[in-house]
Amino acid sequence: MENYLVGLRKGAWTSEEDELLRKCIHKYGEGKWHQVPLRAGLNRCRKSCRLRWLNYLKPNIKRGEFAEDEVDLIIRLHKLLGNRWSLIAGRIPGRTANDVKNYWNTRLRRKEYPSKKDPYVTKGKTIEKIDVIKPQPRAFTKNNIYSKVKPTTIVNVNKDCVEHPLPLCIDNNHLKPLTKTTAMNSIPTDHNDENITWWQRLLAESETETVLFNEETQSGDLGLTSGSSGHDLDHIWSFLNSESDDIVGI
DNA sequence: AATCATCCCAACCGCAATAGG
DNA sequence: ACCTATTGCGGTTGGGATGAT
């Protein structure tokens, strides 16, 4: 198996190769990567083609320095999700998982591991320690003791994406428009309370984490203020409210 | 100007998950 | 239920660019 890999080109892509790949994707669309080298007339393996497209050639990929809010979001999402780069990148329009991973490994990680052992520590720089919450398992069951209560989400965002300083309340299993009273009543103050879900706890412990609340759809969503489209919270919650006891991935 | 160290990013590799027969 | 092919992900590496000495 994989004998076809013998003699394949490796290393940096040429502009000619890029053009061949671009034309192929435009003609046949994304996917079916195993067919791409043949269709494009490229002497590259399918993985290389896929990576080149996703990380470099794909339209709308943002280049250049990360903006302050992007960096802030990466840090916060990394606290919540750990090294799940594709999930993190999915919340940052125009950035690829590779971009985010590289950025973290080359610049942000040094803040986390300011020890001499870390090869990325730059001498003489003042470094701030980041407290990282270990990522949770990707799957859980409905019977998990932490899965009984819908998470209290934090920070409301209206149509203009203006951040609201108060937590958002979920009352009697229903997401409700925020009021000061319900919000304050819904804040989990005791982190050891069994009635708090693991992600309620995560959010509560991650003080600056934000959850966007769409007032039109009455749904919560982790993400950027510039229009991310994830559905993790609703996905999880609809599962918890379903009859199924199957394990679900996040 | 030359050399060395460090930074940064594109690309590769291995493996787990998923799809399909 | 099992097997194989394919996809997608995260960890790691190679090498060019840049900065320091």
Q: How many helices (H) does chain A have, and how many strands (E)?
A: 10, 8
Asked if A181 and A205 sit in the same domain, the reply is yes
Distance in angstroms (rounded) separating the CA atoms of residues A126 and A222: 31
A32 touches strand C (CB under 7 A): yes
**A45 and A80 part of one domain:** no
- Give residue A228's Cα distance to chain centre: 10
- Give the distance, in angstroms, between residue A109 CA and nucleotide B8 C1': 14
A226: phi then psi, degrees, rounded to nearest 5: -95, 25
- The pLDDT assigned to A6 comes to 54
Indicate if A92 and A22 belong to the same structural domain: no
Q: How far apart are CA A179 and CA A163, in angstroms?
A: 15
With CA of A102 and C1' of each nucleotide, the nearest comes out as: B9
Q: Are strands A219-222 and A248-249 parallel, antiparallel or unpaired?
A: unpaired
For residue A160, is it within any domain?
yes
- At A138 the pLDDT is 29
From the centroid of its chain, how far is CA A152?
Answer: 19
> What is the model's pLDDT at position A114?
54
How far, in Å, is the CA of A122 from the C1' of nucleotide C19? 13
* Cβ contact A150:A233 at 8 Å: no
Task: Specify the CATH number for the domain of residue A122.
Answer: 1.10.10.60
Distance of A248 CA from B18 C1′ (whole Å): 14
Give chain A's domain count.
Answer: 3
- Is the CB of A34 less than 7 A from some atom of nucleic acid strand C? yes
**Would the pTM of this model clear 0.75, i.e. be above it?**
no
Residue A216 domain-assigned (yes or no): yes
- Give the number of other CB atoms < 10 A from CB of residue A217: 10
Q: Which nucleotides of C are covered by protein (CB under 7 A)?
A: 5-12
List b or e across A190-207, with b for residues whose CB sees 16 or more CB atoms inside 10 angstroms. Answer: eeeeeebbebbbbbbebe
Tens digits of pLDDT across chain A (250 residues): 344 455 688 888 888 888 889 999 988 888 889 889 888 988 888 889 999 998 888 888 888 888 888 888 888 888 888 888 988 888 888 898 888 988 888 887 666 555 434 433 333 332 333 333 333 332 232 222 222 223 333 222 222 222 222 233 333 333 333 333 333 333 333 334 444 443 444 444 443 333 443 433 444 444 333 223 333 344 333 433 343 333 222 2
Instruction: Give the C-alpha separation, A95 to A228, whole Å.
Output: 12
Task: Return the pLDDT at A82.
Answer: 84
Same domain, A214 and A125: no
Question: Does at least one atom of strand C sit less than 7 Å from the CB of A122?
Answer: no
A145 and A213 together in one domain: yes
A42 and A106 share a domain? no
Evaluate whether residue A128 is within a structural domain: yes
- Looking across all nucleic acid strands, the nucleotide with the smallest C1' to CA distance from residue A36 is C6
pLDDT at A113: 54
Q: How far apart are CA A119 and CA A206, in angstroms?
A: 28
pLDDT for A16 equals 87
Question: Is the Cβ atom of A26 within 7 Å of strand B at any atom?
Answer: no
Positions 34-93 in A, CB within 7 angstroms of strand B: 44, 47-48, 51-52, 55-56
Asked whether residue A91 is assigned to any structural domain, the reply reads yes
Q: Among A86, A107, A135, where does a domain finish?
A: A135
> CA A132 → CA A53, A83, A138, A235, distances in Å?
32, 11, 17, 25
Is the CB atom of residue A120 positioned under 7 angstroms from any atom of strand B? yes
Domain span at residue A216 reads 139-249
Protein residue at shortest CA distance from C1' of B10: A12
Is A3 contained in some domain?
A: no
Strand C, CB < 7 A, residues 73-92 of A = 83-87
